[in-house]
Chains A and B, each alone.
Chain A
């Protein structure tokens, strides 16, 4: 999935001449933590976060200094070396950028103009959609040998049942290096026929199951 499909395009911004107080009020009102700073042509020139403000604000005991601080223009505290994303970046790249730079949001810039913003929450939401948990379904986990053709064989078994596969995730098995875990989300309330068919083909179903404990 691409950034342009996930980003918010109605971006709330300020100008570098606006005061720090403006930014504080706006963040509070809109419940946001990142304010891109743009010029008249919508070119991105900086960003101010709630963290920038908190770390720059003088002690609460110096009220005069604090007032003076709040009246300063945003250009005095904004970060100008902004990490940005492009509308054609992939969700995985953006997730890696958040992780690497320990930041919570990325302005999306196309030809130097601000066209959107994407936050960690947007990315998380996209990952939730990728796992299919936003549609009614049952999840099963299968431990499989790490070799070609396994996934195809499993899906071949499922094909006999008129059941939709909502998502497929494959991740490394932390317990056994030579195997992988396949997580399937199935569009059914009754996965038993599929589980039984997989068991008949010697597949190890990890869940639903509990460490050697069987229900029913």
Chain B
């Protein structure tokens, strides 16, 4: 490890907690950190503390009335009627004490990662608490209150004037980020997700390509439900490499949601842990090829917090720090023992998933064909 690489974390990030039993659960970060420490892949010297985002920074993307509403909600001073207009107090984003502070530190963590990379303290930074890509200008959506990805990109534009490539491999469409930069040719957004035919948020079809000056700077690959590793990786590699070559980014921001796995309870893709080895690998390569290594990786979705997210996110850090060889064979025994009896499901014992993780998918070849055509259509405008 020649370069310094940062892992942004503090226990304050765990305050982003809606309620007991809510699917969005940051315990997954604790599980990931513990796993990395067990294999000796994360040292305290690599960890840096997130700062709090200021109101001014949040205003780069969010409406002042919305920020006020979140602040009031966190103090129990927002009526139910008012809350509904801002997407707060719903089943997805219930109100919780001090929700403004808990959300502002999530954004601040992403800004900390950005400054670390852009001020050349090191080439890469990871902030697993971030990646809340559904947040809108004036509305909470899909578990996301403030959109740290959007704020960070706008912050990079204003402070460093760099061209940003945003790569979103969460199983849900990265709608909040896409719409924020829909007419901006200096920010290229790529989202690879399960088709919105049934899945939230419903957008992210190939014809959402940007608007005005930003036309040709938004890309979407809606994959069919039950897409498996090979087809997912084909779509990802082809799309992301061609777009990076076309766009020549100054910095790459990846949203590494870990909810495309077969086990994920909220989505219907059928990938395995293998994609979480491969996805960061290419992002890493492209960052060195086009952006002098500048790469900021964020968390995102991921609702099987026991069997999927810890391995997937550990692999992200291992790729970033060049230690993937540490993720072979069985998982550390101490980790399995420690978390095994707290987990409601039995934990996988190996880094890789077994061959027969799930029964064969009907219509597999049709799904692959459809995804291939989707990729072709989405990339058509690159050739023009």
Contacts and interface: CB of A to CB of B under 8 A. Distances in A.
Given A136-B142, A213-B226, A192 B265 contact: yes
Nearest to B94: A162
A185 B264 contact: no
Contacts of B198: 138-141, 207-208
Contact of B226 (A140, A191, A210): A210
A162 B268 contact: no
22 contacts: A133-B203, A136-B134, A136-B201, A138-B199, A139-B197, A139-B198, A141-B198, A163-B90, A163-B92, A188-B92, A189-B200, A190-B23, A190-B266, A191-B200, A208-B199, A210-B225, A210-B362, A213-B361, A215-B226, A216-B262, A216-B263, A216-B264
Contacts, number: 79
Contacts of B182: none
Interface in A176-216: 185, 187-193, 207-208, 210-211, 213, 215-216
Contacts of A207: 198
- The 8 A-B residue pairs whose C-beta atoms are closest, nearest first, are A136-B201, A189-B142, A189-B200, A138-B200, A162-B91, A139-B198, A208-B198, A133-B202
Residue among A136, A163, A191, A207 facing the most chain B CB atoms (10 A cut-off): A136
B32 interface: no
A192 B91 contact: no
B272 interface: no
A137 B200 contact: yes
A136 B142 CA distance: 8
Interface string A137-162: 11111000000000000000000011
A141 B199 CA distance: 12
Nearest to A215: B268
A157 B172 CA distance: 26
Contacts of A216: 262-265
Contacts of A140: 198
Given A135-B202, A215-B268, A216-B263, 18 more contacts: A136-B134, A136-B175, A136-B200, A138-B198, A138-B200, A139-B197, A141-B198, A161-B91, A162-B89, A163-B90, A164-B90, A188-B92, A190-B91, A190-B92, A193-B91, A208-B225, A211-B362, A216-B264
Interface string B46-68: 00000000000000000000000
A189 B203 contact: no
A215 B134 CA distance: 24
B202 A189 contact: no
Interface of B: 23, 89-92, 134, 141-143, 172, 175, 196-203, 225-226, 262-266, 268, 270, 359, 361-362
Which range contains the number of A residues in contact with the other chain?
20 to 34
Nearest to A164: B90
Contact of A136 (B91, B202, B225, B226): B202
Nearest to B226: A210
A188 B201 CA distance: 8
Contacts of A161: 91
Contacts of B196: 133
Given A139-B202, A216-B263, A188 B90 contact: yes
Nearest to B304: A216
Contacts of B175: 136
Contacts of A138: 198-200, 202
A162 B201 contact: no
Residue among A137, A162, A215 facing the most chain B CB atoms (10 A cut-off): A215
Nearest to B80: A162
Nearest to A186: B200
B86 to A, nearest CB: 13
A137 B173 CA distance: 11
Contacts of A215: 226, 262, 268, 270
Contact of B90 (A139, A162, A191, A210): A162
Residue among B172, B197, B198, B359 facing the most chain A CB atoms (10 A cut-off): B198
Nearest to B89: A162
Contacts of A193: 91
Contacts of B89: 162
Contacts of B362: 210-211, 213
A164 B270 CA distance: 29
Contacts of A188: 90-92, 200
A192 B361 CA distance: 22
Residue among B141, B202, B264, B270 facing the most chain A CB atoms (10 A cut-off): B202
Contacts of A133: 196, 202-203
A138 to B, nearest CB: 4
A164 B87 CA distance: 10
Contacts of A136: 134, 141-142, 175, 200-203
A96 B225 CA distance: 34
A208 B196 CA distance: 11
Contacts of A213: 226, 359, 361-362
A187 B201 CA distance: 9
Nearest to A187: B90
A208 B23 contact: no
Nearest to A188: B92
A129 to B, nearest CB: 12
Contacts of B141: 136, 189
B229 to A, nearest CB: 15
B357 to A, nearest CB: 11
Nearest to A193: B91
Given A136-B141, A164-B90, A210-B362, A189 B226 contact: no
